[in-house]
Amino acid sequence: MATNLKVNGQTRRTTAKPDTPLLYVLRNDLQLNGAKFGCGLAQCGACTVLLNGKAIRSCQTPISTIGNGEITTIEGIGSLATPHPVQQAFIEEQAAQCGYCTNGMIMAAKDLLDRNLRPSETDVREALAGNLCRCGTHNRIVRAVLRAAKVMGRT
C-alpha cells in the first residue's frame, strides 16, 4: 500500500509501512538527508522537521499519523543561492562546529520565529532546549537566532 506525503510543497509517494518513522522515509525513500538520525528517541533534535509549521521529531513520528499534513524539511526553506534568514544568520554567526545538530536547530528556530519575531534570549534558549549540540556552540546558535529575528522583523 502506498502513502502520499506532502513534503516541501510537493506530493511524494512512498511504499513504506504505516508505522515507519518519517525520518526513514525522508532519508531513505525521498533522499532528503537534512534531518539526521541522532538518538532515535526524540531526545536530541537532530531529526527535527516541521509538520504544519510546528517542529516535530521525525524519528518518532510514524507516517500513518501525518495524514494530509504539510512537512517541511531543511531542504524546503532555503537554498545555497537564497538561504532562509535563519540559515544566513547561522552562517554569519559561525554557529556550527561539526554541524550534525545544525539542521534540527535551524528548523526549531524557524518554528519559534514563525510564531515570535521578537524572542528574548530566554525564549530562544527555551525553544532550542530539546535540541542538543555536543560541540558547545549554543551561544553562537542563540546569537544566530536573535540575528535572524532582527532580519525577519524588518521584512
- 97-115 pLDDT per residue, tens: 899 999 999 999 999 999 9
Residue 111 CB-density burial (10 A; 0-12 exposed, 13-18 middle, 19+ buried): buried
Q: What's the pLDDT band for 154 if we cut at 50, 70, 90? A: confident
Instruction: For domain 3-76, give the CATH number.
Output: 3.10.20.30
Distance CA 143, CA 121 (A): 8
What's residue 45's pLDDT?
97
Parse the chain into domains and list their residue ranges: 3-76, 85-154
CA 5 to the chain's CA centroid: 17
Query: Which cell numbers in the block locate residue 18?
Result: 504505516
What is the average per-residue pLDDT within 110-131? Answer: 97
How many other C-beta atoms can be found within 10 angstroms of the C-beta atom of residue 52? 13
What is the average per-residue pLDDT within 69-79? Answer: 97
What's residue 148's pLDDT?
97
Q: Which amino acid type is present at position 105?
A: M
CA proximity to 75, closest of 125, 131, 35? 35
- Asked whether residue 14 carries a pLDDT value surpassing 70, the answer given is yes
Q: What's the pLDDT band for 153 if we cut at 50, 70, 90? A: confident
For domain 85-154, which CATH number applies: 3.10.20.90, 1.10.150.120, 3.40.640.10, 2.30.30.280?
A: 1.10.150.120
What's residue 135's pLDDT?
87
